Amino acid sequence: MSRRDKYEFELAFFEQVRKRMPSDVRVVSILAHLYTQTGRIDEGLKMDRKLARLQPEDPTTHYNLACSLALKGRKADAVRALRTAITLGYEDFHWMRHDPDLSKLQGYPDFEALLRESLG
């Protein structure tokens, strides 16, 4: 059973809820996570961008946006989103260094510089 099959019910359910409540942060957040988990990275990125518009001051939202951007190979955009997350208060730099969603950033000079700056 593929991840997509495993989450088929949840995806269908929350897609229907989103039609009725398109700006509900919880619904958009769940869909962003489900899309990413099932390999629908473009759709997950779309939801993460929407979340950033709905809650522009939330550091975790910007961190998750960075993860989606990194998964798409958009390194510079991902680092910008990480900088925003840090500016807003994100502090789990150990996780940032080891998060599999950010693995494409490993060795990227701007990401490495960000980690050095953040870790002092």
**pLDDT score for 119:** 81
Query: Other CB atoms closer than 10 Å to residue 46's CB: what's the count?
Result: 16
In angstroms, rounded to a whole number, what is the distance separating the alpha carbons of residues 31 and 66?
Answer: 16
Same domain, residue pair 61 and 50: no
| Per-residue pLDDT tens listing for the chain (120 residues) | 666 667 888 999 999 999 999 999 999 999 999 999 999 999 999 999 999 999 999 999 999 999 999 999 999 999 999 999 999 999 999 999 999 999 999 999 999 999 999 887
Please indicate, yes or no, whether residues 35 and 69 belong to a single structural domain of this protein. no
In a shared domain, residues 68 and 109? yes
48 shares its domain with 60: no
120 and 62 together in one domain: yes
Q: How far apart are CA 114 and CA 111, in angstroms?
A: 5
Question: What is the distance between the alpha carbons of residues 45 and 81, in angstroms, rounded to a whole number?
Answer: 12
Given a contact cutoff of 8 angstroms between Cβ atoms, the answer to whether 108 and 81 are in contact is no
What pLDDT does residue 73 have?
A: 96
Task: Identify whether residues 79 and 115 lie together within a single domain.
Answer: yes
Q: State residue 1's pLDDT score.
A: 62
Considering only CA atoms, which of 74, 72, 61, 70 is closest in space to residue 32?
61
In this structure, are 74 and 39 located in the same domain?
no
Domain identity same for 79 and 50? no
Instruction: List the CATH number of the domain containing 16.
Output: 1.25.40
Domain interval for residue 8: 1-55
In sequence order, which residues have a C-beta less than 8 Å from that of residue 101 and are 6 or more positions away?
36, 67, 68, 70, 71
Q: Output the pTM of the full model.
A: 0.91
Domain count, the chain: 2
108/120 Cα distance (integer angstroms): 19
> Do residue 46 and residue 18 come from a single domain?
yes
Task: Please report the pLDDT score of residue 4 as a whole number.
Answer: 60
